[in-house]
Amino acid sequence: MVTGDNLQTARAIALECGILTDPQASAPVIIEGKVFRAYNDAEREAVADKISVMGRSSPNDKLLLVKALKKNGHVVAVTGDGTNDAPALHEADIGLSMGIQGTEVAKESSDIIILDDNFASVVKVVRWGRSVYANIQKFIQFQLTVNVAALIINVVAAISSGNVPLNAVQLLWVNLIMDTLGALALATEPPTDQLMKRTPVGRREPLVTNIMWRNLFIQAVYQVAVLLTLNFRGRDLLHLTQDTLEHSSKVKNSFIFNTFVLCQVFNEFNARKPEELNIFEGVSRNHLFLAVVSVTVVLQVIIIEFLGKFTSTVRLSWQLWLVSLAIAFISWPLALVGKFIPVPQTPLKNLILKCWPKKKKQGDEGAAPPV
């Protein structure tokens, strides 16, 4: 909190707001603007992270604090309503000004204008911003899982036998599930209180986190392993050896397609909560998600049972439908167990770069040793 009030008033307000927890807090936790102003650049950067309250400050002190925090690598947000706040609002990564009492200069220097002049609206901004970011991550995890699994299954099957279990029309339907229906289901999740307990995302942190890579790897490996096994050993495993080769191949491929789609339906629930154990928390309140899942399942039943000529599939018996559901259901306990696997804090890209040998700079070879 940076204010022009005297230090004691600032302390009382900060204690009431929860910015300060210790009534006996002293410098540099609570500091006067003139003291901070007297520091040189290096000293300001050293104490900037420790400051919770700055009293008797000028607009220039706020600007100096913003610059010091940014040099320390922080993402800085600033609120203000006066003309004198404009430099700090402009310098900050995110400037928030008041829409009613704020001056035109402050509004023009800001990134976000709080229309109702209510600081509680800032919490809503952060809440929805985090929700949008988290929903994008959920959709990307779901999309990558579908893409990786479908690609590996078709490529391996094509190389080994010359036939692909998923034809073009079936892949178009899978793509519709992934891009359109999947986006509606996962990218419209409402914000939750759990989002506000997360630490802020760093400026250079990757969009696809190590947790997402772990979840993606587990689900993709499971789907690829099961469906390739069915592709190569499906006639024996599904007891289709007594049927003709042509019809049994159609039944096998229809079963693989049906199982693959149902795996994506079940995996949509996993994608809702990439980090939390309870993937069903709040699902009953998300009517759009439930509607999308229901529509996907109904359309899949119609495709398998009634649109065989269009999708090159045949009808499946109720026993095979139950087996497909059982295979897809396993993705839930598998995801639960996978969340107990720890992941490194270092982004995957940095881990790969550490293992990659560094190229020697031109001129290093054959250079004379230093004297």
The DSSP code sequence of 190-205 is PP-GGGGGSPPPPTT-
What confidence score (pLDDT) does residue 368 get? 47
Q: Report the percentage of the chain scoring pLDDT > 70.
A: 96
Given a cut of 80, is residue 2 above it in pLDDT?
A: yes
Q: Mean pLDDT across the stretch 196-215?
A: 84
The whole-number pLDDT of residue 18 equals 87
For tokens 């929700």, what's the residue?
131
- pLDDT given for residue 53 in this prediction: 92
Mean predicted confidence (pLDDT) in 334-354: 81
Over residues 223-276, the pLDDT tens digits come to: 999 998 988 887 888 887 777 778 888 888 889 999 999 999 999 999 988 888
In one-letter notation, the amino acid at residue 182 is G
pLDDT classification of 371: cutoffs 50, 70, 90: very low
With 60 as the cut, is the pLDDT of residue 359 above it?
no
Show me where the domains of the chain are located.
7-121, 130-354
Instruction: Find out whether 196 and 126 touch, Cβ atoms under 8 Å.
Output: yes
What local confidence, expressed as pLDDT, does residue 370 receive? 47
185 and 178 in contact (C-beta within 8 Å)? no
**230: nearest Cα among 169, 166, 177:** 166
Give tens-digit pLDDT for 110-134.
988 888 888 788 888 888 888 999 9
Residue 43's φ and ψ, nearest 5 degrees, are: -70, -40
What mean pLDDT value characterizes the chain? 85
User: What's domain 7-121's architecture?
Assistant: 3-Layer(aba) Sandwich (3.40)
Q: Please name every residue paired with 302 in a beta bridge, in sequence order, or none if there are none.
A: none
**E strands, the chain, in order:** 30-32, 53-55, 77-80, 94-98, 112-114
Query: How many C-alpha atoms does 80 have within 13 Å on its Cβ side?
Result: 33
Angstrom distances, CA of residue 265 to CA of 148, 232, 293, 296, 328: 16, 24, 7, 8, 8
pLDDT number for residue 323: 92
The CATH fold of domain 130-354: Calcium-transporting ATPase, transmembrane domain (1.20.1110)
Of 88 and 361, the structure prediction assigns the larger pLDDT to 88
Least confident stretch, 54-68, 185-199, 310-324:
185-199
* Fold matches, 7-121 and 130-354: no
pLDDT of 360 > 60? The answer is: no
Please report, rounded to a whole number, the percentage of residues in the chain having pLDDT higher than 90: 20
- pLDDT higher than threshold 50 for residue 104: yes
Angle at 219 between CA 315 and CA 175, to 5 degrees: 55
